Structure 1
């Protein structure tokens, strides 16, 4: 891109933040920012005006805007959690485990990783993953069970498994389980009755906007993260985000996201450069994808590790470039779309900034940024399979240690794993398509498999995402089904080493994760999305065959 096609602007305030935005269309960008200022969008978000996203969104928005005041409203939790942490550590309980999904786990994970404190996140229904977590220092473990609705099946199953493990070890679960949920939820009632310590989150905050509520702060505070400093970061930037001014960073970032999307850029790269923040892109991925991916519209985040590494190819990945940190990589790499941004701020400030900007982008795109209408469909399909109502698929063929399943009429004459992958990739729209690889495996044991993202991106020349199942179902899963119909989907599943019962339920963890994968594939197929599922019956041989086929 020539210099004439690339325009940049920068704003900063007293060391609180530094934002640089790049844009192709000067008129469209500046007009959008000026319109946002004229309509007092930032001020009205801060005032919790639920009419900003249209009449169809009003009922949902009316109960989803309390996140704007959390930097101050969550302050009482700091002292309360410090006291509880000290009490637990005095009893030798210093290993913090979080059972939660989506917004309940992604925020605490980035908060603790960025602060350098240990937090074990159990966000899977894979039996090998759950068993390994329970076996780790159980005698020193406190478990935080987080569920906004109080009915998240994954979290309920994990809680039941830990309760049984504690009892088998002669430990009273009431001494080791802390619950975070909305007041009046089924989990609230059950936990209170069982004598568990319960923290109530603000019910007027949606899951993906809940980083600064009890969902983000309770597990992080118990693990030893500086949650007071996190709130300080957010409080410092809050006045700038609420101001109706052209230098408001949320309006600038939201305008770049929204105007670029309206101009045809529906994918953005998230990459960390020169920052102590660890894993922020995974949190932002859910915020953007689940908030915007609906009604055939939306922004798909593509998470890559670093600019200049083999994991970032500007020829395939940079339909938009958004960096988190002090580095400004589009000084060296100009996004082909002509739209980009780079943000340098503390973690709490980053979170509040991106929440505001996502809400602003939702207004520009013309969607409700607070609902997730397509998430429930995959849950319903999984429940149907567990209840025996759904039809179990049969493999189209077996190649060595890999069973191959696919959407109808997708495979053609394919008889090998390599041919099945080729058939799937042959369905990609060369101009707008993307590849989503989804692994329903143990994300710690099988972490090397994430390398398929880079290989698929290089092979196809198209943006490629990677997600661990079932956690991505609470994140990009909404975009897959509700966003533009431009994706092709590669699922990877396995047989666990040993299954694990879900106490008090008539299904096992192995049956549950299988139902989640099959259910999601069936819903994707019903939406006209091409899906291939590769099921490995021998993990070492099967995964090696898949990696070879992807290459």
Structure 2
């Protein structure tokens, strides 16, 4: 057992000494002190972009605590005017924390019903448009840069149907194009993000908090739990859970245990979709990284290779605990983070962020840049402009030949969200794990492009990639643009497939009919 009080760690003896050495080195190199002094040379040479100007998350909870009256007035005004729904129009760091808040807390009275739209599939956009009364809804347009193609396309679709700007709010960095757009359209309110916080570290900033407060969540309690975690992460010796966790995950990855598998008990079951972006985009670069695995079926020990680390967000699920105990007994590293009440989500967010910063030091990479994300965006824009040309779909056998750990199998669905799809994907993932013993990932496109997409292109060249597409039964116009939502999502799929292949990675496309039928071709 670790002597760190807020987590329990069972690390096999063959790795324990390496983790202990890494921790001693962290203390000798003053990692904690250098993080809090914002010493960017911990991760990269002096003057490297996206290092020292990406550390605003360290004290953001304290600063946001001072804004609680502003948030309360905002939420009170919405309720007084009879608003019923709030819709986040965002992507990646602007949508994932709100989605975790939405799923974890559920519908609260008297809060608004929160929806998160982070898809460009025409079916998904239309479903949200048709499911709410736009005269009693607030649309939260959320984008750090203010020019990301997905939220801007969503805004155009919603504003064409709801022309009253008071039904919109913006969350964006100061001086962005979105701030100017909000002024032009008379948005109800603009909330400024901190330019010194990257999107994936923004859960405890307005990007996460504005949707949460609209939904009636007690963000004061969430921030207080994060502040407690920050105080713990200032400790320079034993007892710093964030330091220990970062050292352990970084060193275990160096030892070949780089498939970080999240098992989260209810009500925190959606934690993994947020943690995916944090870990994948922060560490998956320069041929290394920690691959996060979320929502994968939890199986018996013999189904897994020797490349796993299991992290359990524990809130009392006895079945998960029993399965993880068996995995621990079989020699897998198992780390347990105990969650006490919904407000503890703030502590879990903060602990994760600090651990990733430390893991970046252990892996000798900059955890705050995302050098390969822009490549897929550029390819999408090129396809929108020039077309994609002929694309060879490839054959599934290209992906399964010789498939074994430490390879991983990534399933990427440019599809509308549905419980039926997710159940079928879970069955497919289970079959892959049992047959080939490899880690599997699943993501909806284009959302995962802002998440595991960085790891796909920048991490170890061990991925096999299966892209699933469909033919939307009904398209949806994007007002003011020469392309539609169906055109946009297909361009994103085409651009991603071409980017993967340009990196020499095996990538196959299947037009989805029956996902379960894919299992028969493995």
Q: TM-score, normalised by structure 2?
A: 0.92
Distance of aligned partners of 1:354 and 1:544 in 2 relative to their CA distance in 1, 3 Å threshold: closer
Matched, 1:243 2:229: no
Matched, 1:520 2:496: yes
Residue correspondences, number: 502
Residue in 2 aligned with 1:401? none
CA distance in 1 between partners of 2:175 and 2:402 (Å): 47
Residue in 2 aligned with 1:316? 304
Matched, 1:114 2:89: no
Q: CA deviation at 1:313?
A: 5.8
DSSP-derived class of the 1:495 partner? coil
DSSP-derived class of the 2:308 partner? coil
DSSP-derived class of the 2:371 partner? coil
Mind listing any 5+ residue stretches in structure 2 that lack a counterpart?
108-112
Distance of aligned partners of 1:270 and 1:550 in 2 relative to their CA distance in 1, 3 Å threshold: farther
DSSP-derived class of the 1:489 partner? strand
Q: Do the aligned residues in 1 keep the contact of 2:119 with 2:125 (CA within 8 Å)?
A: yes
- The structure 2 residue matched to 1:363, chosen from 337, 351, 361, is 361
Residue in 1 aligned with 2:382? 384
Residue in 2 aligned with 1:393? 390
For residues 420-431 of structure 1, the aligned pairs below 5 Å read 420-426=395-401, 428=403, 430-431=404-405
CA distance in 1 between partners of 2:47 and 2:459 (Å): 17
Q: CA deviation at 1:78?
A: 2.4
Q: Any idea what the Cα deviations from partners look like across 1:187-235, whole Å, max 9, x if unmatched?
A: 1112122221211001100000000000000011111112111101101
Distance of aligned partners of 1:393 and 1:56 in 2 relative to their CA distance in 1, 3 Å threshold: farther
- The structure 2 residue matched to 1:277, chosen from 268, 276, 291, is 268
Residue in 2 aligned with 1:135? 130
Matched, 1:490 2:466: yes
Q: Any idea what the Cα deviations from partners look like across 1:46-66, whole Å, max 9, x if unmatched?
A: 232222112067431111001
Matched, 1:455 2:451: no
Q: Any idea what the Cα deviations from partners look like across 1:154-207, whole Å, max 9, x if unmatched?
A: 01000110001113xxxx1x1111100000111111212222121100110000
Residue in 2 aligned with 1:200? 192
Matched, 1:500 2:496: no
For residues 334-373 of structure 1, the aligned pairs below 5 Å read 334=328, 338-345=332-339, 346-373=344-371
CA distance in 2 between partners of 1:507 and 1:384 (Å): 13
Residue in 1 aligned with 2:87? 97
DSSP-derived class of the 1:234 partner? helix
CA distance in 2 between partners of 1:178 and 1:147 (Å): 11
Q: CA deviation at 1:296?
A: 0.4
Residue in 2 aligned with 1:176? 167
CA distance in 2 between partners of 1:235 and 1:79 (Å): 18
CA distance in 2 between partners of 1:325 and 1:433 (Å): 28
Residue in 2 aligned with 1:125? 120
CA distance in 2 between partners of 1:544 and 1:67 (Å): 40
Matched, 1:543 2:514: yes
For residues 301-312 of structure 1, the aligned pairs below 5 Å read 301-304=292-295, 307=298
Residue in 1 aligned with 2:279? 288
Mind listing any 5+ residue stretches in structure 1 that lack a counterpart?
1-7, 396-404, 407-419, 537-541
Matched, 1:433 2:414: no
Matched, 1:165 2:156: no
Residue in 1 aligned with 2:110? none
CA distance in 1 between partners of 2:494 and 2:357 (Å): 33
Q: Do the aligned residues in 1 keep the contact of 2:264 with 2:313 (CA within 8 Å)?
A: yes
CA distance in 2 between partners of 1:58 and 1:522 (Å): 29
Distance of aligned partners of 1:184 and 1:90 in 2 relative to their CA distance in 1, 3 Å threshold: same
Q: Do the aligned residues in 1 keep the contact of 2:145 with 2:176 (CA within 8 Å)?
A: yes
Q: Do the aligned residues in 1 keep the contact of 2:313 with 2:336 (CA within 8 Å)?
A: yes
For residues 138-153 of structure 1, the aligned pairs below 5 Å read 138-153=134-149
Q: CA deviation at 1:305?
A: 5.4
Q: Do the aligned residues in 1 keep the contact of 2:446 with 2:489 (CA within 8 Å)?
A: yes
Q: Do the aligned residues in 2 keep the contact of 1:269 with 1:321 (CA within 8 Å)?
A: yes
Q: CA deviation at 1:110?
A: 0.9
DSSP-derived class of the 1:25 partner? helix
Residue in 1 aligned with 2:2? 9
CA distance in 2 between partners of 1:288 and 1:80 (Å): 32
CA distance in 1 between partners of 2:119 and 2:330 (Å): 36
Q: CA deviation at 1:427?
A: 5.1
CA distance in 1 between partners of 2:301 and 2:47 (Å): 38
CA distance in 2 between partners of 1:463 and 1:335 (Å): 20
Range with bigger deviation, 39-48 or 90-99: 39-48
Q: Any idea what the Cα deviations from partners look like across 1:461-507, whole Å, max 9, x if unmatched?
A: 21111111110000000000000000100000011111111111111
Q: CA deviation at 1:264?
A: 1.7
Residue in 1 aligned with 2:253? 261
